[in-house]
A and B are shown apart, each in its own frame.
Chain A
């Protein structure tokens, strides 16, 4: 450790977000119900500013700083910009939802921005310490956000489960890190990979540490068999918070997996490959099959998220830059679709009615043909039907798996996604072929209507022209 002045430039977006979040925290203290919108606007301005900073710092090469604990490479740049855009959308979606339920408080935005800061640190981490720092900053903000609706029993229960299981996963991760530190004597990822390559003979202790690391990562991504918290938390949390938890942290979770496995432990690739295959098959299988049994749309989307996490792992386990790019593409596409799916739940709900049941979507076509069509786009995309973007994401990871000579794995993934298509199509059947339980057309707020339409049409437009996003992912992974 040296104490020379480090190069602060790569961390400019982080410093900007930290400064702005602290500022919003203070300013919000002096606002009342009527002027609270200032906090919201400042939070959005923070995300826009951070996007501009990250964009101006984006370059093709990697830059280390802070005694090599922090890295700004193309992958970090792209993922961070995706996080800002996602959270920007989350805020747009949640604005009126929060207001109607008395949750429109400065703390929501401050916690979300601290969560974003945690994700940014996690995405740019280049040592076990920064990975853990980012992860905890992100997770603690998320736990508090789930618990924000204090008078709701389900939200309190969800927060409790999330916190306890999350703490356990962090402990597992730390245990794995301590094992690897014990063997290699370093926390820094490049040195770690060098030390692992040079380790002769018995690798048992390294693999032992690796298993614990992967338990921690699998928990954060919500991969089976560490998925138990996902449906309960998604279901119990206020939908605006569910929207946040189910999207942006997946990008950070993907970055964490890449940093630990690809940057830190390429020497153990045969070992983590096998574990990831197991996690992916279980996630895709359990996620798609159990989703069929759900009657609550938030739980159904939670299981769908579990199966998507499995697909994301398929890209990483193939072990090639093209595979990593496919995984990254999948992560970004999943966040876009997740935004649309939970955004639709927000759009359907109103104060005192959460629109959580699948039944609530019956006959949506009679009530609002336009939003039924938008939901159709989102569901088709999640099911992987061309020409929507979800199809290209599935195709990219399957190509990566096939090029890694894992034909059987690709076949399993395809079979289960066909099974999974059932529950996506069921939503469409309910919307178009069933009688509406309540009459009266759906009249969402103008901002919500515009955001959801833009989101769903974006899914279609990106599906028509997937080349640019894919090229960006390939470039970010140096493929």
Chain B
């Protein structure tokens, strides 16, 4: 029973060793010229420390939502592609239909100008 978990243990050990080795090598070999910009936290273009209730362009939000839809599409496509042989015509057509509905949404958002940043 317990020996089944041996590969997992080996995997964890190698993972820790490898990760540690990389950090150590970077620490030993890398050039170090710190300045205040380099040492400050990076936060996707925003100031790292300020009031979280600030104004930002609502279009970020729109892009994020549109991104999630197509991100999820990929998440569905991968498992579907793997079992494509077993699910036959019905499985294939289901996905085609799903993609078709997404395309309709895509046409809608495109025509409405949601993708335009100007």
Task: Report the tally of A-B residue pairs with Cβ distances under 8 A.
Answer: 21
Among the listed A3, A22, A29, which residue makes an inter-chain contact with B90, where contact means beta carbons less than 8 Å apart?
A3
**B101–A22 contact, CB under 8 A?**
yes
A151 interfacial contact with B, CB 8 Å: no
Contact partners of A4 in chain B: CB under 8 A: 88, 90
Contact partners of A26 in chain B: CB under 8 A: 104, 107-108
Q: A4-B90, A5-B90 are in contact. Are A29 and B101 (CB under 8 A)?
A: no
Contact partners of B111 in chain A: CB under 8 A: 29
**Minimum CB–CB distance for A108 against chain B, Å:** 15
Contact partners of A6 in chain B: CB under 8 A: 90
**A5–B108 contact, CB under 8 A?**
no
**A3–B86 contact, CB under 8 A?**
yes
Contact partners of A29 in chain B: CB under 8 A: 107-108, 111-112
**B87–A3 contact, CB under 8 A?**
yes
Interface residues on B, range: 10 to 19
B89 interfacial contact with A, CB 8 Å: yes
A263-288 vs B, Cβ < 8 Å mask (1 yes, 0 no): 00000000000000000000000000
Considering the chains assembled together, what is the distance between the CA atoms of A5 and B90 in angstroms? 6
**A22–B89 contact, CB under 8 A?**
no
**Minimum CB–CB distance for A133 against chain B, Å:** 13
Residue in B closest to A3 when the chains form the complex, CB atoms: B87
Contact partners of B15 in chain A: CB under 8 A: none
Residue in A closest to B104 when the chains form the complex, CB atoms: A22
Considering the chains assembled together, what is the distance between the CA atoms of A147 and B114 in angstroms? 19
B91 interfacial contact with A, CB 8 Å: yes
Considering the chains assembled together, what is the distance between the CA atoms of A6 and B90 in angstroms? 8
A37 interfacial contact with B, CB 8 Å: no
Considering the chains assembled together, what is the distance between the CA atoms of A52 and B35 in angstroms? 74
Residue in B closest to A5 when the chains form the complex, CB atoms: B90
A129 interfacial contact with B, CB 8 Å: no
A414 interfacial contact with B, CB 8 Å: no
Considering the chains assembled together, what is the distance between the CA atoms of A272 and B104 in angstroms? 43
**Minimum CB–CB distance for A378 against chain B, Å:** 39
A3, A6, A29 — which one has the most chain B CB atoms within 10 A of its CB?
Answer: A3
B83-111 vs A, Cβ < 8 Å mask (1 yes, 0 no): 00011111100000000010010011001
Contact partners of B112 in chain A: CB under 8 A: 29
Residue in B closest to A15 when the chains form the complex, CB atoms: B97
Contact partners of B101 in chain A: CB under 8 A: 22
Residue in B closest to A110 when the chains form the complex, CB atoms: B108
**Minimum CB–CB distance for A184 against chain B, Å:** 26
Considering the chains assembled together, what is the distance between the CA atoms of A209 and B96 in angstroms? 37
Residue in A closest to B101 when the chains form the complex, CB atoms: A22
Considering the chains assembled together, what is the distance between the CA atoms of A345 and B78 in angstroms? 52
Considering the chains assembled together, what is the distance between the CA atoms of A26 and B87 in angstroms? 31
**A3–B104 contact, CB under 8 A?**
no
Residue in B closest to A28 when the chains form the complex, CB atoms: B108
**A3–B107 contact, CB under 8 A?**
no
Contact partners of B107 in chain A: CB under 8 A: 26, 29
A174 interfacial contact with B, CB 8 Å: no
**A25–B104 contact, CB under 8 A?**
yes
Q: List residues of B (20-70) whose CB comes within 8 Å of A's CBs.
A: none
Considering the chains assembled together, what is the distance between the CA atoms of A3 and B111 in angstroms? 36
Considering the chains assembled together, what is the distance between the CA atoms of A5 and B88 in angstroms? 9
Contact partners of A25 in chain B: CB under 8 A: 104, 108
Considering the chains assembled together, what is the distance between the CA atoms of A147 and B67 in angstroms? 23
Contact partners of A5 in chain B: CB under 8 A: 89-90
Give me 15 A-to-B residue pairs in the complex whose CB atoms sit less than 8 angstroms apart, sorted by A's number: A3-B90, A3-B91, A4-B88, A5-B89, A6-B90, A22-B101, A22-B104, A25-B108, A26-B104, A26-B107, A26-B108, A29-B107, A29-B108, A29-B111, A29-B112
The 10 closest A-B pairs by CB, nearest first: A29-B111, A3-B87, A22-B104, A3-B90, A3-B88, A3-B91, A5-B90, A25-B108, A26-B107, A25-B104
Given A22-B101, A26-B104, A26-B107; 5 other pairs, CB 8 A cutoff: A3-B90, A5-B90, A26-B108, A29-B107, A29-B108
